[in-house]
Structure 1
């Protein structure tokens, strides 16, 4: 039997482990009967997430996921600002490994953004903070960074530019889904399917995709 896949979900701005599709995703993955793997889903309660800061997010994620314990059975799922939190964490983790960094199994970014239409000061801190994208990408296998965006996200109307940045900066596989706004529904089959595709696809197929 294959090793358990550990999925860590980093919520949106002011989101908790009980919000949006997070509890539903956990129930669905942990109860799958048709999967070749088993899942354990960790819904993270990020510190002071009503006003998220990069430093606190990095410190917390490094505690929950010590970089030297990263491996191919760990999958990271970010929602909105949670996507940036994951990238900052991975870039910082990469600094510990000048050569042969460990890689996670994959990363799924949902409603991820690099800018928003009407930013406020606290979110500008995230928008303006530099990220070493190349360093972060070293910890993600090729073809194992998936991004889901909506064509009517109320916070980021320029979804095509956003898509282009995800591809240029991180060689991401981006899907634009119609009418999903900020992906805040109580359930979302596309998120479930995207994560299963990352976790269950044979390595050879993942490379060819």
Structure 2
């Protein structure tokens, strides 16, 4: 098993709980990749898709991979799996959402190409296990958007009290619920 994590808009692999999760996985001898996806320049589905194609071509992402997406990285992964009909060991979406228009022009422009108007976003045919985590007090994304996305992709849905957007601003420099979800995919 290996883990591949995709950050969200304006994100980096060395922020929030990402370094902590990588260290915990290394201790358990689980390979973890957290690449830098280009943002804000080149943040669009087509450019991120090409980067993901590269990792799939290398065999880094395969049927033994647990994919973890944070924020907009979640809908990117769902979009990618549905488009390419790839099956993985697990899919974990943290503060994931789809079709959210914030009214903040720059953010909306960066995120819009990831969004999907698919008939179904059910990921249970594309991942052995599916998990969604979101905070009950997310300051960035409305609850109904977070919950709707989580229910649409299927699997285990958990609304975590006081988790905010599951980022450092909400105190998330560690994230035991994600680590437990990864371990349950073994």
Partner of 2:174: 187
CA contact (8 A) 1:87 1:133 kept: no
* 1:196 paired to 2:183: yes
Q: Which runs of 5+ in 1 are unaligned?
A: 33-37, 95-101, 201-209
Residue in structure 1 matched with residue 12 of structure 2 by the alignment: 16
Among 104, 128, 139, the residue aligned to 2:88 = 104
Residue 127 (structure 1) shift:
4.4
Counterpart in 2 of 1:61? 52
Give the C-alpha shift of residue 134 in structure 1: 4.2
1:65, CA displacement in angstroms? 1.6
Residues 18 and 177 (structure 1 numbering): CA distance in 2 closer, same or farther, change over 3 Å?
same
Instruction: Tell me, yes or no, if structure 1 residue 31 matches structure 2 residue 16.
Output: no
Aligned position for 1:80: 71
- State the Cα deviation string for residues 47-67 of structure 1 (Å, max 9, x = none): 2x1252111111111111239
Aligned to 2:88, the other structure's residue is in SS state coil
Q: What does residue 176 of structure 1 align with?
A: 159
Q: Give the match's secondary structure for 1:196.
A: helix
State the secondary structure of the residue aligned to 2:33.
strand
1:166 and 1:15 mapped to 2: Cα distance? 21
> Does 2:153 correspond to 1:162?
no
1:45 to 26, 36, 42: 36
What is the CA-CA distance between 1:12 and the residue it aligns to? Answer: 2.0
TM normalised by structure 1 equals 0.75
- Separation in 1 of the partners of 2:134 and 2:54? 29
* CA RMSD across the alignment: 2.5
Whether contact under 8 Å (1:149, 1:177) holds in the other structure is yes
State which structure, 1 or 2, has the greater radius of gyration over its C-alpha atoms: 1
Equivalent pairs counted in the alignment come to 178
Q: Residues 26 and 136 of structure 1: is their aligned pair in 2 closer, same or farther, counting only changes over 3 Å?
A: same
Structure 1 runs (4+) greater than 6 angstroms displaced: none
Judge conservation of contact 1:11–1:78 (CA < 8 Å) in 2: yes
How big is each residue's C-alpha offset from its partner over 1:21-62, in whole Å with a ceiling of 9 and x where there is no partner?
A: 111101001103xxxxx4100011112x12521111111111
Helix, strand or coil at the partner of 2:133: strand
TM-score (norm 2): 0.83
